[in-house]
Chain A
Amino acid sequence: AQSVTQLDSHVSVSEGTPVLLRCNYSSSYSPSLFWYVQHPNKGLQLLLKYTSAATLVKGINGFEAEFKKSETSFHLTKPSAHMSDAAEYFCVVSVSGGGADGLTFGKGTHLIIQP
């Protein structure tokens, strides 16, 4: 079985400062890891994904994440926050087997951007 733990339910940063959203995962097999973003009243959007290639993954809107197997972590970062980044962020794990590849979501981190 696989799971993800998002270490912060809420993160508040000032506009223009760095963003760090923390995620630890648990998986018996080599996982695929994702970050999704959900803006209010909008659908889920894929930010980036790790699938055992480069450990530093670059995504959309300036976000990136680093896969650290030794720490079982997949933290999301952005050098400079923008007001439009305010949203709910989900760390997600998937382990494919027998054709099943449903996503297991964390509980989410609400990112607040202070002007």
Chain B
Amino acid sequence: EAGVAQSPRYKIIEKRQSVAFWCNPISGHATLYWYQQILGQGPKLLIQFQNNGVVDDSQLPKDRFSAERLKGVDSTLKIQPAKLEDSAVYLCASSLPAGYEQYFGPGTRLTVT
């Protein structure tokens, strides 16, 4: 079984630029999550989707971050404009209906200069 796929694996941008990350969950997984892991900290939930609907986005900085999950499969997380403090690893995870084990992708490491 293929795991959660993410791309790109690494991205370097300058502050005030825009960036987008892509996630392809495990086939059949209805729930998709985006987490932000700043160096030296544990991951923090940004947003949770159930199929293509948002379940929880309470910790998403909506002035600059946006996410969508069209057709209930792939998802894209966008940052516009980026700030220095957005430097982090962005992790995507998926699960069968909420409440089941979450499987994590390898992450996208973002560096904002």
Contacts and interface: CB of A to CB of B under 8 A. Distances in A.
Chain B residues touching A, range: 20 to 34
Contacts of A105: 41-44
B45 A43 contact: no
A100 interface: yes
Chain A residues touching B, range: 20 to 34
Contacts of B44: 105
Contacts, number: 53
Given A98-B55, A99-B50, A46 B101 contact: yes
Contacts of B104: 43-45
Interface string B99-111: 1011011110000
B91 interface: yes
Interface of B is mostly: strand
Interface of A: 42-46, 49, 90, 92, 96, 98-108
Interface of B: 3, 31, 33, 35, 40-45, 48, 50, 55-56, 91, 93, 98-99, 101-102, 104-107
